[in-house]
Amino acid sequence: MAKKPASADNPSSAKNGVTPPDLGGADVGGESPQKASPIPADALISESYAEEQADGGETHQIAGGEVAVLTTQQGIPVADDQNSLKQGARGPTLLEDFHFREKIFHFDHERIPERVVHARGYGAHGFFELTDSLADVSRADVFQRVGEKTPAFVRFSTVAGSKGSFDLARDVRGFAVKLYTQEGNWDLVGNNIPVFFIQDAMKFPDLVHSVKPEPDRAFPQAASAHDNFWDFISLTPESFHMIMWTMSDRAIPRSFRTMEGFGVHTFRLLDASGKSTFVKFHWKPKQGLQSVVWNEAVKINGADPDFHRRDLWDAINGGDFPEWELGVQLFDDAFADSFDFDVLDATKLIPEELVPIRVVGRLVLDRVVDNFFAETEQVAFCTQNVPPGIDFSNDPLLQGRNFSYLDTQIKRLGGPNFTHIPINAPKCPVAHFQQDGHMAMRNPKGRVNYEPNSWGAAEGGPREDRELGFPSFVEDASGRKQRVRSETFADHYSQARQFFVSQTPIEQKHIGDAIVFELSKVERPDIRSRVVSHLLNIDEGLAGTVADGLALAAMPSAAQAARPTIADLPASDALSIVKNGPASFKGRKLGILLSDGADAGLFNALVKEINQVGAVYEVVAPKIGGVTLSDGTKVAAKQKIDGGPSVLFDAVAVVVSDEGAGLLAGDAAAQDFVRDAFGHCKFIGLTKEAEPIFAKGGISDLLDDACIPLAGANDAAAFVDAIAALRFWPRELKVDLDAQ
């Protein structure tokens, strides 16, 4: 790929818009943060390391105070903590980068036994079926034969929280797929968001440290709404595209089944001749996209912190197998060179309107695990696990992940033989001379444990095969050995703006609300102001909304941009959840609040219609023993009203008798049931007898077109058709103070 020229009016590639840490104290009144003076190139640590450490180490005078010289654990001063060592500005990361290796290794080993990130996860088994051969661009066996099924294991996760955290944190969701192909395991270790916070793996420990519980107080858990995270983000302009995604409803999905998955990075496909085609991988949910609203997420975490886990478990065990389409964006060097952004930059995406998605297969999850620890907890994903026909690009974040993941798994699972654990074992023949080590369950047979050897085919063991073996893409790499960020990575705001303008007005409102909420938990005013200064480079309206929501004393100046924002990038409908919602209520859950004496015909009609569209329902009642309907039928309850709030359902129906309504109208939980359903913009079905409950809930005068009367069984079909829309968003503008 041709190297893209640097812009003459941009800062040097060594800086590329990376803001140095704000070490000068608080930035009050919306002024720009003080910049740290560069550390002298000839800075050396003290001869007496122990004595200097006791005094805090050697320091340099900068604006606002003194700062210690950053060193490795061996005491070697660090010249650049922002970029890994590469061969050329866009070349591969070099193995000799001891600072990166030490930093990432130490990070990988910080905690045992749970994962440092993606600790809270849930997995299931299934298969991948090829529906369109990619033999024209890849020699990978998994892409050759249409109709062939490949065993799969998928693990979904949250990033920031511990194993014991709740499911509905505002967070990125991991979407890791292990395909047991005939040429070895392929691990596509992605997320539900197609971009990431950082461009270089050197910064991964810093990113995760900043979002994890603050080390002195060990909170907040599974939350980014605190000073450390936003301090880091406000000093890292490259993160703001990802911030738009994580502050959108993408970060609070309704279920694993209703979110997309992305490979994030640019990979290569190689055909039999070694010809390369760039590729980005996408998982598209067949049930459409769906998220919850923030107030709903908070309440779900209290009512059922295992909401996502339970949903996946129940769906698979109920025969409603989750399914995604595998789509690929394929492009060549000519497109890569002409694209406005660098395809090696993990903070960027390629709009589907520019490179359409080609659907080549489907992923179906049809079996839950037998044992959570043995499978979900012990499964080990490594980005470097790819079969012949798939290869890597020089994306520095991907290169760093390839380097890091193996070490992480060795540490977490106790040794180098984690592939002997059944969930990680390939389902194809395995032959090598690796032996012994912790947890070795099998060793090569015979006397030969090395190669080359002269023992012959019968005794000599496996040999390399140039035809069948893994081929790396043949690429010329040249350039100075240096720590540098390519100039082509320098645009930090244009795609962030493109994402924002691609959202519907209600989604834009949610982004503004989310940023205001998060920053309202940040104690330092200068950090809040600094974030707004970046938002000014994305959308002035959004910046104004956030500044007003925080009651900033003054609007800050826009942050200095390494490259000016491209303001006319076209909106992309594929980036909106609302525009890619479901076509029916299939796979969703209706909550039916019942009382003794409720209309049996109406209840049975609702159940019939829900079953016909492939949805499920749960009965909520005053007592878990259930109710007796108008015809004397007894119906068991799944939830008692105190433990079955409306946040657990996609829509609700209140079917009660006069006597039942009188009982429930005075119950706080029943009032919350209808009030929350209304406040969360859900569709509500209600019988005339239910009106006192809504009156006591304070919303009887607010009922709108999405509050659908249920006079009898004949109304059930129309109600179930209507609730396919999932939300009635115009209502939010009437019930939210921030919208007034």
Percent of the chain with pLDDT over 90: 79
Percent of the chain with pLDDT over 70: 91
Residue of 16, 99, 118, 308 with catalytic role: 118
Structural domain boundaries in the chain: 98-424, 586-739
Residue 528: its pLDDT value, please? 98
Confidence grade of residue 150 (pLDDT, cut at 50, 70, 90)? very high
Residue 324 has pLDDT above 70, yes or no: yes
CA dist 149 and 141 (Å) reads 12
- Mean predicted confidence (pLDDT) in 32-51: 35
531-544: per-residue pLDDT in tens? 999 999 999 999 99
Closest CA to 502 of 581, 567, 574, 565: 574
Closest CA to 529 of 551, 497, 510: 551
Closest CA to 114 of 202, 212, 13: 212
Residue 312: its pLDDT value, please? 98
Whether 118 is catalytic is: yes
**Global pTM?**
0.88
Residue 45: its pLDDT value, please? 31
Closest CA to 321 of 96, 129, 183: 129
Residue of 191, 192, 228, 402 with catalytic role: 191
Residue 23: its pLDDT value, please? 36
CA distances from 283 to 242, 396, 499 (A): 19, 23, 19
Residue 716: its pLDDT value, please? 98
- Mean predicted confidence (pLDDT) in 312-338: 98
- Mean predicted confidence (pLDDT) in 325-330: 98
421-473: per-residue pLDDT in tens? 999 999 998 999 889 988 888 888 899 998 899 998 889 989 888 888 999 99
Q: Mapped to the 3 state alphabet, what secondary structure does 398-455 carry?
A: HHHHHHHHHHHHHHHHCCCCHHHCHHHCCCCCCCCCCCCCCCCCCCCCCCCCCCCCCC
The CB density around residue 171, as the number of other CB atoms within 10 Å, is 24
- Mean predicted confidence (pLDDT) in 270-281: 97
Residue 7 has pLDDT above 70, yes or no: no
207-255: per-residue pLDDT in tens? 999 999 999 999 999 999 999 999 999 999 999 999 999 999 999 999 9
Confidence grade of residue 730 (pLDDT, cut at 50, 70, 90)? very high
**What tokens appear for 684 in the block?**
């509500």
- Mean predicted confidence (pLDDT) in 245-268: 98
CA angle 377, 379, 380 (to 5 degrees): 120
Confidence grade of residue 49 (pLDDT, cut at 50, 70, 90)? very low
Could you please report the per-residue DSSP string of 60-96?
EEETTEEEEPPB-TT-PBPS-SS--EEESTTSPBPTT
Q: Is 183 helix (H, G, I), strand (E, B) or coil?
A: coil
- Mean predicted confidence (pLDDT) in 593-611: 98
Summary mean pLDDT of the chain: 90
Residue 732 has pLDDT above 60, yes or no: yes
64-104: per-residue pLDDT in tens? 567 777 787 777 788 898 899 999 999 999 988 888 988 88
Residue 307 has pLDDT above 60, yes or no: yes
181-198: per-residue pLDDT in tens? 999 999 999 999 999 999
Residue 253: its pLDDT value, please? 98
The CB density around residue 372, as the number of other CB atoms within 10 Å, is 14
Are residues 191 and 242 in contact, defined by beta-carbon separation less than 8 angstroms? Answer: no
Closest CA to 292 of 350, 245, 248: 248
Residue 726 has pLDDT above 60, yes or no: yes
Is the CATH number 3.40.50.880 carried by domain 586-739?
A: yes
CA dist 25 and 40 (Å) reads 21
Least confident piece of the model among 3-7, 521-525, 622-626: 3-7
704-719: per-residue pLDDT in tens? 999 999 999 999 999 9
345-354: per-residue pLDDT in tens? 999 999 999 9
More confident residue, 48 or 418: 418
Closest CA to 198 of 336, 395, 408, 339: 395
Closest CA to 295 of 13, 649, 679: 679
**What tokens appear for 438 in the block?**
């912790």
Residue 343 has pLDDT above 60, yes or no: yes
Residue 685: its pLDDT value, please? 98
DSSP letter at 522 equals -
Q: Is 483 helix (H, G, I), strand (E, B) or coil?
A: strand
Cα 262–chain centre separation: 9
- Mean predicted confidence (pLDDT) in 282-304: 98
More confident residue, 478 or 370: 370
**The CATH number of domain 98-424, selected from 2.40.180.10, 3.40.720.10, 2.60.40.10, 3.40.50.720:** 2.40.180.10
Residue 740: its pLDDT value, please? 64
